[in-house]
Amino acid sequence: MKYLIIGLGNYGYSLAIELSALGNEVIVVDNKQSHIESIKDKVAAAFCLDATEEESLNVLPLQNLDAVVVTMGKSFAASVRVTALLKKLRVNHIFARANDEVHRSILQAFDIEGILSPEEDAAKDMVRYFEFGLDLEAFPIDEHYYVMKFKVPENLYGYYVNDLKLNDQFGLKLIALKRGKTLVNSLGVSFTEKEVVNQLPEEDHLLEGDELVVYGRYSDFQKFWRAM
C-alpha cells in the first residue's frame, strides 16, 4: 500500500511511523526541515516543501496512491487550501484532520473520503482500518501495553482457539472470548446477547461474530495482525 502524509505534527508523525512499520510505502511532506530530518530514515521518501503551493504539490507522486492524509490541524487556512488543491488536482482518497467543528464543516464541503479527529490515538485506529479492516476497542495500560477487543476476522472462522498460538508466536494473552447467545424476551421476540466465554473447549471453533479480548504489547498486536 502507498500513502502520502502531508504535515508532520504529532498526528502526522505517528500515522507515518505506524503505516511504515507495517511495511507500507509512506511518503511524507512538511515545510520544516527539522521535521523531515527526524523521519526521513523511517519512511520511503520525505520532502521539505510548501504544500499550500500548487507548483510544489505537482512534484509529488500524487497518482496511484491508496490514500493522501492532510494532517495540518493547527493551521486552519493551510489545511483547507491543501485539501482544495488536492481536489483540483483530482487526487483520489483524501483524508483530512479537522481541528474543530467549523473546520470539519468546511472540509465536508469538499466531499473527501474521510475527516479525522485530532487525537493522536486516532492515527493507530486509522492504520488498523487501512490494514486489516478491524473494528476494535483499545484500552491502553501504559505506553506499550493494551487490552484490545476485536471481532474475529473472517479468515479465522472455523479455527480452534489454540490454532491461533497467540502466546507462543506473538506473546499475547487471550483474556476472554465473547460469543452471541440467542435469547427470547417476554414478548417472544428473539435477540442476541454477547456473553463472556472464559473456558472454551479445545474442540470448539471460532464463529462469525465472536470477539476476542486480548492483552499484550502493541508491537506484538502488530505482528499478529500482519500474520492474519
**Residue-by-residue pLDDT tens, the chain, 228 positions:** 899 999 998 889 988 998 898 788 999 999 999 999 999 999 999 999 999 999 999 999 898 899 999 998 678 899 999 999 999 999 989 999 888 788 888 888 888 888 876 554 566 666 666 665 666 777 777 668 888 888 888 888 888 877 888 888 899 998 888 887 666 666 666 666 667 776 665 667 888 888 888 999 988 988 888 787
Strands lying side by side in the sheet with 25-30: 45-48, 25-30, 2-6, 67-70, 94-97, 114-116
**Residue 161 near residue 173, CB atoms below 8 Å:** no
* Domain of residue 31, CATH code: 3.40.50.720
Q: Which of 128, 148, 170 is the C-terminal boundary of a domain?
A: 128
Q: What is the pLDDT of residue 18?
A: 85
In terms of domains, do 167 and 69 share one? no
Q: What is the pLDDT of residue 182?
A: 64
Q: Which of 128, 158, 193 is the C-terminal boundary of a domain?
A: 128
Q: What is the pLDDT of residue 161?
A: 79
Q: What is the pLDDT of residue 208?
A: 84
In terms of domains, do 171 and 143 share one? yes
In terms of domains, do 170 and 218 share one? yes
In terms of domains, do 160 and 79 share one? no
Q: What is the pLDDT of residue 69?
A: 94
In terms of domains, do 141 and 119 share one? no
Q: Is 144 exposed, middle or buried (0-12, 13-18, 19+ CB in 10 A)?
A: exposed
Q: What is the pLDDT of residue 29?
A: 97
In terms of domains, do 190 and 99 share one? no
Compute the distance between CA of residue 39 and CA of residue 64 in angstroms, rounded to an integer: 23
In terms of domains, do 111 and 6 share one? yes
Question: Partners of 69 in the beta sheet?
Answer: 5, 95
> Count of domains in the chain?
2
Compute the distance between CA of residue 11 and CA of residue 122 in angstroms, rounded to an integer: 8
Q: Which of 99, 128, 157 is the C-terminal boundary of a domain?
A: 128
In terms of domains, do 159 and 116 share one? no
In terms of domains, do 123 and 31 share one? yes
Q: Is 139 helix (H, G, I), strand (E, B) or coil?
A: strand
Structural domain harbouring 185: 134-227
Q: What is the pLDDT of residue 190?
A: 61
Q: Is 220 helix (H, G, I), strand (E, B) or coil?
A: helix
In terms of domains, do 73 and 180 share one? no
In terms of domains, do 71 and 17 share one? yes
In terms of domains, do 152 and 218 share one? yes
* Domain of residue 145, CATH code: 3.30.70.1450
Q: What is the pLDDT of residue 82?
A: 95
